[in-house]
Structure 1
C-alpha cells in the first residue's frame, strides 16, 4: 500500500471533513473517501465501532447498517456504491469524530507498518467472498446487539481485520478475522450450552 491506501490516510481524510463544521454527515465522509472506494467505506464504520464513538446511543446500529449495505454491494460486485438518503444525511458531532480519529491514528500507523504480502489465497475468491459475507453478517448483527456490552466492538474488530486484509492484500489479517469470529462463536455456544461446546 502507499499514499492514501492506508488506514492513516483514511483517518486524515475523515479529519479534514470533520474540521469543516460543527456536525458531519455520513454523506460528507463517503464523498471524501471516494464513491468507488468500497473497502475504505467498509473500514470507517468498523473503526468507529471499535473507537469510543461506540458509546453513543444507536451509533453501533448505524455503523452496522452501513457495514451490511456496503458488504452486500461488494458481494454483488457493484461498480458504484449506493446508500439510502436517510442514512447519508445522518450526522455526528464533529468534535467527537475528530477525537475518535485522533485516538485511532497511532494504532492505524502501527497496522500500516506491519502490512506484508502474506497468505494471498485468503484475499482472493472464493475465500474473499467468505470474508465479505462475514462482514455482512457482522453488520446485520450489530443493531440486535446494541445493548450487549462489547459485542459491537468485537464485531467491528472482525470487520476491520477482514477489510484491512482486503485493502492491504495481506491474508494474515483475514486469518485473524476468521479466528476472532470463530472464538466469538465458540464463546456464545458455550454460554448458551452452559459452559460446554
Structure 2
C-alpha cells in the first residue's frame, strides 16, 4: 500500500497547497497571516485544487474542528457541502460557490486557535491513511457518497442549535472526502458505517 499525498499537488509552486492534511491546516494559517478577518474564499483559493475530494474535505474538516463553533459556521459548512456534493455528481471541474458564501468571514484568531487544537489529532490520523481498495474511492461510488453527504449536511441546519451537534454527520462526510482525496477505499467504507452511526445520533440530538 502506498502512502498518498493529501491533497494532490497541482504544481511545484511554493504557493500551492501542501501534500498533507496537517500541512494544509498550517497552510490556512500561513496564507492568512497579517489579516484580522478570514474569508471563506481565501481558504478555498489556498486549496489550489480542482478536485472535489479536497473541496469537500475543506468544509467537512472545518465543521468538526473548533472553528466549526464560530456562530453561523455550521450553516455555512453545511451549505458548502451540499453545493460541492451536488456538483460532484455532474461536473469534474472546480465547484461553483456563491459570492455570499465565499465572502463569509470570521476572526483569524478563531482560525489559528482551531488549527492548533485540531492538528495533533490530524497528525495521528494521517498515519493510517493509505492508497487501498481504490475501487471504493471513485467511479460510480461517487454518486451514493454525494447523495449521502447532501443528506447529512442538511442536518447541519437544525443541529446548529445543538452544541457539537454536527460532529457525527460532519465526521462521516470527512471520511468520505478524505477517502476520495487519498484514494483510500477503506476510509470510504468507514464513512458508510459512520453514516449509520450519525443517523442514530442525529435522531437523539434532534432539537425539534
Q: Deviations over 1:65-113 (max 9, x none)?
A: 0111111111112412211111111101001001111222122222222
Alignment equivalent of 1:172, drawn from 167, 174, 186: 186
1:119 to 127, 133, 141: 133
Aligned to 1:106: 120
1:18–1:97: 8 Å Cα contact kept in structure 2?
no
Partner of 1:90: 104
Which residue matches 2:21? Answer: 7
Size of the aligned set, in residue pairs, is 192
The answer as to whether partners of 2:40 and 2:105 remain within 8 angstroms in 1 is: yes
Structure 1 position 54 matched with structure 2 position 68: yes
Which structure has the highest helix share of the two?
Answer: 1
What residue in structure 2 maps to residue 77 of structure 1?
A: 91
The 1-side partners of 2:84 and 2:169 are apart by 15
Counterparts of 1:91 and 1:187 in 2: how far apart (Å)?
30
CA contact 2:28–2:46 (8 Å) conserved in 1:
yes
Q: RMSD in angstroms over aligned alpha carbons?
A: 2.1
The answer to whether the 8 Å contact 2:40/2:101 transfers is: yes
Q: Specify which of 39, 43, 50 is matched with residue 25 of structure 1.
A: 39
Which whole-Å deviations, capped at 9, do the CAs of 1:12-66 have from their partners, x for residues lacking one?
2211123230101111111111251432221122111111223222211111001
**Cross-structure match for 2:50:** 36
Distance 1:135 1:190, change over 3 A: closer
Moved over 3 A (4+): 186-192
Extract unaligned runs of 5+ from structure 2. 10-17
CA–CA separation in structure 1 for the residues paired with 2:132 and 2:146: 19
Matched with 1:184 is 198
Aligned to 1:195: none
Q: Which runs of 5+ in 1 are unaligned?
A: 193-197
Could you state the TM-score of these two structures normalised by the residue count of structure 2?
Answer: 0.83
The residue number in structure 1 matching 2:13 is none
